[in-house]
């Protein structure tokens, strides 16, 4: 029997390809995989991916490998797709995890650390970021998981990696993440489904409710007593029962549902809580993140 066919029967081979924008958190992510027992390789030339897959898994006891491949690979990056195709032919499965963040957050991080962007030749960070985005776009398009680290803590990044990458997917349902956000702070870039709930009356303009948030009973009752809010949840429940199984049929393993209002403090928070409860009732175990609820001045 061919070696490739032997590998296809192995369910203990785990190859994580970690990539993304410089400054988006790859160093923190690779440390997390190392703590989780993975053999980790940082800045592996893309041309060596096939050799890693065809020899490492066959000759070592450690069957969990995480590698970082990014724009530092220079010309080697051009060989990436060829290497990944070779892995597929060998029967070695892999997951591509792509980390990114907004331009302003990336610029801030580089200035705070006083590090030079790896593609910066003139010292201008923004132009280097745009160049890197263009170079990495093909890899982003094929990523299994995209994580926007703009507004999450290190702990939340670890939780996302645990839920989306390290979780044992065998026999489990689609992993769903529900995120509330404020449009004034930007739509989560990793969202698969974006729901705008700004049509619901805004509690911000009620003096007694302005300084509360959607996790309180007063805000929850205010939002949910509105007929349009109840109708929205009713219609979403119907859509979810149809749509989510379709994603599972196509092999999708992770789904991000983002619910937004103006500032991410009131309406989006309440609706997100309700959607999580609804998903739990139909058999899923979603995670919940209120991205912007603690920001000042949210509406």
> By the 8 A CB rule, do 272 and 180 touch?
yes
pLDDT score, position 86: 76
CA distances from 72 to 32, 199, 200 (A): 21, 45, 47
The residue ranges of the chain whose pLDDT is under 70 are: 1-13, 46-47, 50, 52-63, 71-78, 121-123, 167-173, 251, 296-299
What residues contact 27, with CB distance under 8 A and at least 6 apart? 42
Q: Which of the listed residues 166, 195, 217 is the one where a domain comes to its end? A: 166
**Per-residue pLDDT tens over the stretch 251-268:** 677 889 999 999 999 999
d(CA 255, CA 6): 31
Give the structural domain span for 26: 3-166
Are 152 and 182 in a shared domain? no
pLDDT score, position 38: 84
Place of tokens 């429940």: 237
Are 183 and 212 in a shared domain? yes
pLDDT score, position 158: 85
The closest alpha carbon to 102, from 126, 134, 85, 80, belongs to 126
Are 115 and 90 in a shared domain? yes
> By the 8 A CB rule, do 57 and 16 touch?
no
- What's the domain count of the chain? 2
* Radius of gyration for the chain, computed over Cα atoms and rounded to the nearest angstrom: 21
In a domain, 296, yes or no: no
Model's pTM, two decimal places?
0.60
CATH code of 125's domain: 3.40.50.300
**Per-residue pLDDT tens over the stretch 116-174:** 777 776 667 888 888 888 888 888 888 888 899 988 888 888 888 887 777 655 445 67
Q: Which of the listed residues 166, 198, 221 is the one where a domain comes to its end? A: 166
pLDDT score, position 7: 31
**Per-residue pLDDT tens over the stretch 177-187:** 999 999 999 99
């Amino acid at each position: 029997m061919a070696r490739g066919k032997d590998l296809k029967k192995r369910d203990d081979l785990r190859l994580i390809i970690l990539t993304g924008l410089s400054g988006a958190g790859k160093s923190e992510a690779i440390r997390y995989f190392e703590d989780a027992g993975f053999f980790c390789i940082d800045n592996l030339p893309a041309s060596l991916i096939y050799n890693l897959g065809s020899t490492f898994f066959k000759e070592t006891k450690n069957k969990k490998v995480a590698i970082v491949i990014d724009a530092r690979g220079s010309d080697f990056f051009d060989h990436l797709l060829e290497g990944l195709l070779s892995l597929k032919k060998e029967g070695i499965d892999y997951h591509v995890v792509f980390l990114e963040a907004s331009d302003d957050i990336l610029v801030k991080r580089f200035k705070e650390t006083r590090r030079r962007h790896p593609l910066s030749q003139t010292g201008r960070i923004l132009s280097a970021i745009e160049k890197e985005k263009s170079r990495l776009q093909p890899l982003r398009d094929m990523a299994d998981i995209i994580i926007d680290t703009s507004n999450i803590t290190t702990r939340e990044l670890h939780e996302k990696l645990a839920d989306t990458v390290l979780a044992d997917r065998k026999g489990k349902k689609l992993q769903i993440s529900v995120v509330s956000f404020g449009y004034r702070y930007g739509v989560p870039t990793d969202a698969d489904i974006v729901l705008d709930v700004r049509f619901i009356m805004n509690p911000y303009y009620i003096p007694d409710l302005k300084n509360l948030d959607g996790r309180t009973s007063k805000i929850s009752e205010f939002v949910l007593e509105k007929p349009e809010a109840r109708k929205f949840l009713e219609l979403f429940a119907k859509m979810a029962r149809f749509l989510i199984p379709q994603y599972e049929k196509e092999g999708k393993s992770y789904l991000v549902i983002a619910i937004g209002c103006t500032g991410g403090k009131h309406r989006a928070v309440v609706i997100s809580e309700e959607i999580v409860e609804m998903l739990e009732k139909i058999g899923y175990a979603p995670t919940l993140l209120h991205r912007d609820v603690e920001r000042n001045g949210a509406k």
